[in-house]
Amino acid sequence: MTQEEAMDIMREVLHQVAPDVDLGEVGPEETMAEALDLDSLDFLNFMIGLHERTGIEIPELDYPQLATVERCAAYLVAHT
């Protein structure tokens, strides 16, 4: 998976979880949950959606590693 493919997947999944938010509004090192006003359930659903879309197992302990756009995309690329 490339960085761009990871970003596309993240956009798709985020749109399913929170249709009114735009990943483009978040800086690469800004925390997605804070920048997009996602609550913990939204973030959990985002993690579940990423798993369902990619098949990548994302343990709860790794969630902090996926908090920013840049780190989330890097995680997806590294685990494919």
Could you give the 3-state DSSP secondary structure of residue 67?
coil
CATH of the domain at 61: 1.10.1200.10
pTM above 0.85, yes or no: yes
* pLDDT computed for residue 76 by the predictor: 97
Domain total for the chain?
1
Range of the domain at 55: 3-78
DSSP structure string for 11-48: HHHHHHH-TT--GGGS-TTSBHHHHTT--HHHHHHHHH
pLDDT in tens for each of the 80 residues of the chain? 999 999 999 999 999 999 998 888 888 789 999 999 999 999 999 999 999 999 999 999 999 999 999 999 999 999 99
